[in-house]
Amino acid sequence: MKKLYTSVFCMLLCSCILTACNDKTPLSKLQKGSSSSDSSFRKLISSSLVSHRLSGFFSDSRRDHCTRLFTDAVEEAIAQNASISNPSIPSSNYTNGQQVALDPSWKYADHSAISSGTATIYLATSNRKGKIIGVNAGHGTSGGTAVKTLCHPDGSPKTTGGSTAEGAIQAIAVSSGMTFADGTPEPTVTLRMAQILKEKLLAEGYDVLMVRDGEDVQLDNVARTVLCNHVADCHIALHWDGDGLNYDKGCFYISVPDTLKSMEPVASHWQQHDALGEALVAGLRNIGATIYQNGHMSVDLTQTSYSTIPSVDVELGNAASDHSDSTLSQLADGLVQGLNQYSW
């Protein structure tokens, strides 16, 4: 009878370990421990073995058998951990080019008014960083101005001006954007910027969630934000400011207004949003881009109000800004540098 109990107990323990080894979450966490993760894992399992040995529950032969199984399980786990740490081996749950739709069960998804479109995942092929960057080419949703969504998930009024006036409960689901001095519509430039940024991010080892991957996507600002919340590690929306100026005032990010900092989910995430914005502007400054004043302007945005991951709206200039591919490429270099400096 004791042998039977021992065998069952041994099998259960081993299956627990093997199950844990097949679960990406703990392995991802181990990966974050980088170089020390393997030794930590060995220590954890070793101490577990020691405690079982001390228990005196196992017979010698059964204990040796279990020890061998434990060791095999540990080696397998370490091998899997190493493969995840190896940047040449994909760790994403997604396949390259996969279309991702909004899941109606996701938090705040029911606040969206336009959500039939899909975003596209692109996976880096080398130097994998294990981060999915949500790249949101601002605007570009036909019918976006005909419907409205709540400015804030709790239905409270907007606290600053912007595309929608202060005090409004609802905002246009997706505005059409500004127009450059040469007549080019903002959505055309934000898409081109997103495409250039995508290539640079992939080359750097980041995976990319292209929220809008063509001229139009049927995803409003809430849907775009919720998709990023659930799929990406951060959310970068690309815009140019419609300020009416006839000179290029430079780049800045939209920081979180103090009036929003006590409202969830902003209360739990505004520091991440602002830190990401600061990092991106620092990267833009590094590549010599003009920076507007201190690099930020606080505006109450739908995106910010619904974001549960580091999320920022970057304004890369205004109607007077050059938007040639060479300028967009430099700006993309700055954003990548900024991301590389961001502390996750």
Can you tell me the distance from the alpha carbon of 152 to that of 38, in angstroms, rounded to the nearest whole number? Answer: 44
| Of 144 and 310, CB closest to Zn ion | 144
The residue at minimum Cβ distance from Zn ion is 239
Minimal distance, residue 21 CB to Zn ion, in Å:
46
CB of residue 164 to Zn ion, shortest distance in Å: 13
138 contacts Zn ion (rule: CB under 5 A): yes
Touching Zn ion, residues 223-262 (CB under 5 A): 239
As a whole number of Å, the end-to-end CA separation of the chain is 52
Non-local CB neighbours of 148 within 8 Å, separated by 6+ positions: 113, 170, 171, 172, 173
Q: What SS3 string covers 87-100? A: CCCCCCCCCCCCEE
With contacts defined by CB under 5 A, name the span among 44-52, 176-184, 263-271, 280-288 that binds Zn ion. 176-184
CB 193 → Zn ion: shortest distance, Å?
A: 11
Residue 158: CB minimum distance to Zn ion, A? 17
Which of 172/332 has CB closer to Zn ion?
172
Least separation in angstroms between residue 146's CB and Zn ion is 18
For Zn ion, give the closer residue by CB, 138 or 257.
138
- Measured CA to CA in angstroms, residue 291 lies from 56, 115, 286, 295 at distances of 69, 34, 10, 6
CB-nearer residue toward Zn ion: 84 or 137 = 137
C-alpha span between 53 and 264 (Å, rounded):
49
DSSP SS3 for 161: coil
* 138 or 144: CB nearest Zn ion: 138
Query: Could you give the C-alpha distances from 249 to 190, 244, 277, 292, in angstroms and in order?
Result: 18, 11, 17, 6
CB 140 within 8 A of CB 212: yes
Considering only the stretches 76-84, 129-137, 173-181, 298-306, report the one whose residues sit in contact with Zn ion under the rule CB under 5 A.
173-181
Q: State the residues that interact with Zn ion by CB under 5 A.
A: 138, 177, 239
